[in-house]
Structure 1
Amino acid sequence: MKAGIERALHTAWSKKGGFSLAMWPLSKLYGAIVDHRKAGFLRHPDRIHHDTLPVVVVGNIYVGGTGKTPVVIALVEALQARGWQPGVISRGYGARPSDKPRAGRGTLDPALFGDEPALVAAHTGAPVCVHPDRQAAIRRLRRQYPQVDVVISDDGLQHLALGRDLEIIVQDGRGVGNGRLLPAGPLREPATRLETVDFIINNLLPGEAPPPSLGLARVLNMSMEPARVEHLASGESLSWREWLSKHGQRPCAAAAAIGRPQRFFDMLRHHGLTLAHTLALPDHYDYEQSPFEPLQAESILITPKDAVKCRKFGDARLYCVHPAPSFSDPAWFDHAHEMLKAISSLKLASTHAEELNSEF
């Protein structure tokens, strides 16, 4: 039901039709609220927390999933390879509420951290801290993991109290939709927001055209390709080609509880798999009970985001497809690295200057 409503909304938001026109007055009210909030922070810059470490925000302005988490994972791993020790903060959507931030690394319980933070921690080994108050999350992260020297915020673009040094927007082929703010359109902020960020990453399906570029941001395209497949029950891991050769001729199904499940199904089909059944579940589905029983298939392929919640079922049919992002401009990691080095040096110099001034 929820997934059907979401599909209908996104279809309506792709054009300036009757629904969008009817919602236009509410959209103007929403825009006024957004402007008022921003003006409040401009008048009171002391309300913005600027950390002494570089802070990178990976977010979007299009409501719903656009593929931020694969970018966060890729960025964390790229920075680790270049000598950084990143830590990740997140709101922890879907996690059990807590007054205090939760921090951890390695294998984390998605019920306590949220499925996406648990996935980031499992893939990268980086420390993760979750809390709606991003400043509190940074403080806890740094206190528990003092070796962290750069903070990556998974989402938080609209969290105005969070000071940031680099902004990365991830969008898919829908771009800005009909260009209107919620609820007349899909945007949390005006489309002009794209003109003020550092990087724009277009998460595209094979053959999909990128949206028009805005502003001076470094723009690149990303596509997801299946890299390896893990059997959840045994832990056996095969490359995609090996798995396809071994299992691809048998009846296969796929299930996904992500922002756009069809993207996962299309990726599998594009890379050679025939699917007998597909199961699209709501984003952040809780998996309190297994939804896989009705599927008549020898193999059921799921996403890594779903796998962190599905190991408990012990279903021998479940395989996790680990996709790898491919970027049209891989040098963007080097560019981000150099920018962060410069930012880190400036912050360090500023901190030293403040310490010296406090002595006199």
Structure 2
Amino acid sequence: MKFFPKYIIAIITLVLLSSCEEDIVELRVPYPNDITFSDLELGRFTFKTYEAPFKAGDVASGIITANAAAGGVNTHVGFALSNQNSRSYPWYTSPKFAPKNLSESQKQQVIDSSAYSVYTLGVNRTENFLVGNTAGDNAYFTLEKPGVVEHVLVANTSYNYLLTQFGSVYSKTLDTSTQSYKLDGAEVQNPNILNNNISQYATFRLPSFNDVEALRMTGAVTMERRRIGEIARAAVLDAGGTVDEGKVAYLAAYNAYNTGFVTLTIEGYLNGSKTGDVDEYLCLKPGVDPENPEYNFTLNDWRKVDLTPLGQVDKVLFKMSSSYVDEQGNMIYPTLFCLDGIRLSK
């Protein structure tokens, strides 16, 4: 009788294995030849930058060379390797929790915890992945031999997700005139921290590159619509129109102007000639995409992007663009994204 529980367990195990067999196959079969970067050595919960291009893949998956170089000002040049998955504001970017004696190097390390993390709905299960910095057209990989890239997986860094969703400053108090949350406003729960202890509530600050204060995308859209509305109002008043006519013009221009996006553009090249490009939104506000005017999202997990329209390529280049830029046309948000799961056709 003492062996009876073992028999029960064995039977239950067989039933579970039988009922889950198809799911297990589905999990294992689709990805045998993807380049996943998990064969590259990297400590847990960390990242690695490179001073020269590095290879990934093998005979089964195919081999690529990811571009990288030394000398990054804000972050790395080209691609870095990471497995970090912090999805909340770093605690040490909060005035409430930050030590007063943090050095500039330590402050950058705090920011890097977001810059080199992938943002996913749950715990990231892709292990190692690449973080691309598209500045200077340096985020590209080359194929050992020309071929078709079936697809790649792309995602936002936690840095970009937090900035586009909440902004550089996050609290419960919004300054409607500037569309920025107040750093001295009411304290808020750190996103994705399952803790209802109000002693852990705080205000947070996470500057973008070069210590720039970024608005959340919704706030940036509001400010840009106000600017467009003011131009329309001024034009009416300058033409001799009434104040009421100016207000009507302001509202019409404000409501008609649609903006708000961060786009990752993926370009293919063969022997130095461009073969095509594919656009993927990392953040999108309503009315911007004419084919999907109702879309309103910030990418919050890995997304598969079909690259077969690029055809035969020996190089794949990644670029980023946004509606939210400074006076020189530079993106306010970091020019960073995450890459994994590269599948080459056989």
TM-score (norm 1): 0.21
Of Structure 1 and Structure 2, the greater helix share is in: 1
Q: Which has the higher contact order (CA 8 A, sep 6+)?
A: 2
